[in-house]
Amino acid sequence: MIATLVHAGGADEGERAVAPFRALAEPIADMVGPIRYPELYPPDEGNHQVASARTMFVDAIERDAAEAIVDHLRSSTAQTAAAQIRVLGGAMARVPADATAFAHRKRRIMVNVAVMYGRPDEAAAREEWVTGFASALTRATRART
C-alpha cells in the first residue's frame, strides 16, 4: 500500500499531523517530507498506461469499507491498482457551495478507485474490476448510513 499525505501548513504542524500514520506500522519506505504541491505528480514522458477509474463521495470509511478496499486492491492483477482517499473540509468547506464550479464542499471524503494497465485489450476486464470495486465500496459505505 502507498499513502500520499498532504498537509497545508508549516513543517512542524505537518510532522504532528503525519505522526499517527507513521505509528500504524513500520513502512517499507518513508518518503514523506516537505515539498511543493506540483512535485506530487511529476511528468513521466515514457508512461503510456491506460486507466479506468471511478470517483465517489462518502461520509466515513468504516471497517466494512476498509475491508472492501483492501480486498479489491489485493485481488487486482493490473500493473497498478489504487484507492485514493481524500479527506475534504477545512477552508474549502467554508466557501458557499454555489460560489464556484466545485459543488461538493459539504462532503467529508472523496474516494477514487482506479486501475492502470498497459494493453488496450485489457480494457474490459479492468473496467469490470473498477466497477465492482466502486459498487462494493458504495454498498459498504451505505450500510452505515
Q: pTM value?
A: 0.71
Whole-angstrom Cα Rg for the chain = 17
Question: What is the CATH architecture of 48-142?
Answer: 3-Layer(aba) Sandwich (3.40)
pLDDT in tens, 66-111: 999 999 999 999 989 999 998 888 888 888 888 888 878 888 899 9
pLDDT at 143: 60
pLDDT in tens, 11-53: 899 999 989 988 888 888 888 888 887 887 777 776 667 899 9
DSSP secondary structure, 24-87, as one string:
TS--S--------GGGGS---TT---EEEEEEEEES---HHHHHHHHHHHHH--SSEEEEEEEE
